[in-house]
Amino acid sequence: MNVFDEMRNKNAVYFANNIDLDLEEQLPGTMFLKQVTFDYIKQNNIKPKQFEILRDAFGNNSIHTYFNNFEVLKMEFFRRKEIRHWVESIDSTNGIFYYRWGDAGLRYLTLALFAEQHEVLHRADYNLSYCHKCR
């Protein structure tokens, strides 16, 4: 299977690897992102495209992320005005600097907010193998 052809054929914006977690105990300040996210939604009258994914993104002391050392994305999508506004809003909090809010968690939230479920493809659904640090 050609991942790029599959994305084009399905009009997908993201091809995701495994879902992972960032933990508050390992990255203190991670959970501040929850309040920032929901404040942003309220202040900007956002209707999340994948509400269930967003709702479940935050545990008591963790946030879901995409294990993104393998990912394919459609740059047009991430350059959209509303997504740039979201990213700039996150950046303005200084949470990336102070709390190490990483691209993996932010990517997960961005897709939950702005991408339809069918626009996000998952590697596991295609039975594609992937090995990190294989020998």
Tens digits of per-residue pLDDT, 11-45? Answer: 999 999 889 999 999 999 999 999 999 999 999 99
Under the banding of pLDDT at 50, 70 and 90, the label for residue 127 is confident
pLDDT greater than 90 at residue 80: yes
Is residue 133 included in any domain, yes or no?
A: no
Look over the chain and give the mean of its residue pLDDT values, rounded to a whole number. Answer: 93
Other C-beta atoms lying within 10 Å of the C-beta of residue 123:
19
Is residue 132 included in any domain, yes or no?
A: no
Share of the chain above pLDDT 70, in %: 96
Is residue 92 included in any domain, yes or no?
A: yes
| Domain with 13 in it | 3-126
Is residue 134 included in any domain, yes or no?
A: no
CATH of the domain at 75: 3.90.550.10
Q: Cα 78 vs. chain centroid, distance in angstroms?
A: 11
Is residue 7 included in any domain, yes or no?
A: yes
pLDDT greater than 80 at residue 129: no
| Number of structural domains in the chain | 1
The rounded distance, in Å, linking the Cα atoms of 15 and 112 is 14
Residues 6 or more apart in contact with residue 21 via CB below 8 angstroms? 59, 62, 63, 64, 65
Is residue 131 included in any domain, yes or no?
A: no
